[in-house]
Amino acid sequence: MSRVIGIDPGITATGYGLIEGTQVLDTGVIRPSARLSLPEKLYYIFLNLKEILDRWRPDAAVIEEVIYHRNVRSALSLGAARGAVLVALRMADVEIYEVSPTAVKLAVTGNGRASKEQVAFMIGNLLKFDVTGVSDHITDALACAMALNRGVVKA
């Protein structure tokens, strides 16, 4: 049974969910202060994720691919956050898989256009995890990890 971390990257909130089989080991959201500069936010994300990776030593990571954004600034910030995450994963020698949000939704709900509420509901059922009051960033990250377990993400 492999240990998988799913990551929902973002510059203001990077969610993560670590599973082993269908057991949730750890979840959280890395939230840099809004007062930090972009380089400081990226460094904060990197350091906090590195600490999590050092503690749990996952075998694989699944990270959402960049989706189309109308706002170029948001897309660039998301890309920068993904870069910080990818560097931390590579430094930890974790096998990295990238998956589209549509594939993640398909893996956990059977519908590639499922709502965030549907994804959270299915994560709760599949992982026997109470999603009441849990951030979308966490349920999205757990869904990424489940996409690998359910065979949607190919090795």
Residues 6+ apart with CB under 8 A from 76: none
Residues in a beta bridge with 18: 5, 26
**Cα(first)–Cα(last) distance of the chain, in Å?**
15
Whether 130 sits among the annotated catalytic residues: the reply is no
Q: Looking at 54, 130, 136, 140, which residue is catalytic?
A: 136
Domains and CATH numbers, the chain: 3-149 (3.30.420.10)
Residue 155, pLDDT > 60, answer no
Q: Looking at 51, 54, 64, 117, which residue is catalytic?
A: 64
pTM: 0.94
Work out the average pLDDT over 132-137.
96
Work out the average pLDDT over 113-121.
95
Instruction: Choose among 28, 73, 77, 21: nearest CA to 52.
Output: 28
Both tokens assigned to 55? 């503690």
| Residue type at position 148 | L
Tens of pLDDT, residue by residue over 60-87, are 999 988 776 677 788 888 899 999 999 9
Whether 54 sits among the annotated catalytic residues: the reply is no
Whether 64 sits among the annotated catalytic residues: the reply is yes
